[in-house]
Amino acid sequence: MTTANLKAAARLAREASRGRRTIELFVTEEGVVVRGWTVVREQMAAASHEVTWRELDAAVDLASNAVALVDRRLSAMEGAGA
């Protein structure tokens, strides 16, 4: 995984954090954890996805993919609760 990939994932997380929704990226010993939460019907709903360092060595930018996945899950939760 390159620094550019991690920066791109962090930028996506910032852009996706809007209104009721928050997405954060955490770097751990095991890899990268993407956590997000939103408010649906006055209750907190959360989603997360972990990507291991082994997976992050792939040519594909899996950190950004994980951010997009969490963003889609939160959107689905917001849509179901509307």
The whole-number pLDDT of residue 73 equals: 92
CB 68 within 8 A of CB 76: no
Which pLDDT tens digit goes with each residue over 41-55? 888 889 999 988 888
The whole-number pLDDT of residue 37 equals: 92
The whole-number pLDDT of residue 19 equals: 78
Which pLDDT tens digit goes with each residue over 10-53? 888 988 888 788 999 999 999 899 999 998 888 888 999 998 88
* Per-domain boundaries in the chain: 3-81
CB 45 within 8 A of CB 38: yes
CB 23 within 8 A of CB 74: yes
Evaluate whether the domain defined by 3-81 bears CATH number 3.30.420. Answer: no
Question: For 71, left (φ over 0), alpha (ψ -120 to 50), or beta?
Answer: alpha
